[in-house]
């Protein structure tokens, strides 16, 4: 019986090693491409003062920074996992804490971007007042404070009460590092609260913009574009919310399927529900915004295209 188990284990390991290059290619390639796209977009935002002073572009730039860091950390952790590299406990803690904070801040930033579109359409005369440079950065600071609450709580528990981690080096994942049940409760609680809050804000702004669009005093084209943007944010939030179910799916497939199938399903869920929404972010705003897109294409093609004068349309 032990020989059969050993043979099965060796076969599974060989199959995993055969699939590893293909999976690594499918995972790393889109991440690298969108890291480059995000990098060019961030560079573009720094080239015009108007992009650094307008609330819409400030929030867009903040989203790009957060998603870029999140993608980069995902690539690093994936490479460590594929290479079976053990990471120091404290370093792993910092990586996981940072990943959690970035994920939650990215989710909350969707609410800010939807609210900015809501103000632009529903209160156009007071848009500049409500979304001033100072207020926009204050809102971003509030989002970071909210996003760090869970992280600080987990760090306090880890260093004050958690005695389950005695190894100095380990395979870096939330499952291996955070073994106490309280971590899981914290994760589920905060994630659900943030997603419900952001979902409410996005649905409220979508409905409000749709209602205003029916009035004669509203710019129909601007309202239609704003509602499409908010709807895309809702789709993006839905993909992000699906990532909550990844943990449930993982536990189920471990019970009802073999180990190799479980790994393949976990890989698919990670790629579709965690990585893809981050790659979707630049396409929602950067490509659809005409003022930004022209300059972005110029830098993306290393200056081979033509640059049109940058004109900011308030309600894009």
* 41 and 286 Cβ atoms separated by less than 8 Å: yes
pLDDT score at 314:
43
pLDDT digits (tens, 9 = 90+) for 179-190: 888 888 888 888
| Coil vs helix vs strand at 170 | strand
pLDDT digits (tens, 9 = 90+) for 47-67: 888 888 888 889 988 988 998
pLDDT digits (tens, 9 = 90+) for 261-302: 666 776 777 777 767 777 676 677 677 777 787 888 888 777
**Percent of the chain at pLDDT above 90?**
5
Confidence of residue 253 (pLDDT cuts 50, 70, 90): low
- Quickly tell me which residue has 């579709």 as its tokens: 272
pLDDT score at 315:
44
pLDDT digits (tens, 9 = 90+) for 129-158: 888 889 999 999 999 999 999 889 888 888
* 108 and 146 Cβ atoms separated by less than 8 Å: yes
Flag whether pLDDT at 93 surpasses 80.
yes
- Quickly tell me which residue has 């690594």 as its tokens: 24
- Quickly tell me which residue has 């930033």 as its tokens: 109
Confidence of residue 249 (pLDDT cuts 50, 70, 90): low
Would you give the DSSP letter of residue 278? Answer: H
Domains with residue ranges and CATH for the chain? 9-300 (1.20.1070.10)
What does the mean pLDDT of the chain come to? 76
Flag whether pLDDT at 12 surpasses 50.
no
Cα–Cα distance measured from residue 271 to residue 30, given in angstroms and rounded to the nearest whole number: 10
pLDDT score at 244:
61
Would you give the DSSP letter of residue 126? Answer: G
pLDDT score at 142:
94
């Amino acid at each position: 019986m032990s020989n059969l188990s050993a043979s099965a284990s060796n076969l599974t390991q060989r199959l995993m090693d055969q699939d590893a290059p293909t999976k690594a290619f499918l995972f790393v390639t889109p991440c690298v491409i969108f890291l480059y796209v995000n990098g060019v977009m961030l560079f573009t935002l720094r080239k015009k003062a108007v992009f650094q002073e307008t609330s819409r572009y400030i929030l867009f730039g903040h989203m790009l920074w957060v998603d870029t860091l999140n993608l980069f950390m995902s690539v690093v952790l994936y490479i460590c996992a594929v290479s079976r590299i053990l990471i120091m406990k404290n370093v792993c803690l910092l990586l996981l804490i940072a990943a959690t904070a970035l994920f939650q801040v990215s989710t909350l930033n969707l609410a800010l971007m939807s609210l900015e579109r809501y103000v632009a359409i529903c209160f156009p005369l007071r848009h500049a007042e409500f979304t001033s440079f100072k207020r926009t950065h204050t809102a971003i600071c509030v989002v970071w404070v909210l996003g760090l609450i869970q992280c600080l709580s987990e760090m306090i528990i880890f260093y004050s009460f958690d005695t389950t981690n005695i190894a100095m080096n380990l395979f870096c994942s939330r499952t291996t590092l955070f073994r106490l049940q309280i971590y899981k409760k914290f994760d589920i609680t905060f994630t659900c609260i943030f997603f419900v809050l952001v979902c409410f804000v996005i649905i409220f702004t979508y409905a409000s913009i749709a209602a205003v669009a029916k009035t004669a005093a509203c710019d129909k084209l601007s309202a239609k574009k704003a509602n499409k943007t908010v709807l895309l944010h809702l789709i993006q939030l839905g993909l992000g919310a699906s990532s909550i179910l990844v943990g449930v799916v993982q536990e189920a497939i471990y019970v009802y399927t073999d180990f190799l199938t479980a790994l393949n399903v976990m890989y698919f869920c990670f790629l579709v529900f965690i990585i893809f929404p981050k790659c979707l972010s630049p396409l929602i705003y950067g490509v659809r915004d005409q003022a930004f897109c022209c300059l972005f294409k110029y830098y993306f093609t290393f200056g081979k295209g033509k640059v049109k004068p940058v004109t900011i349309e308030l309600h894009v």
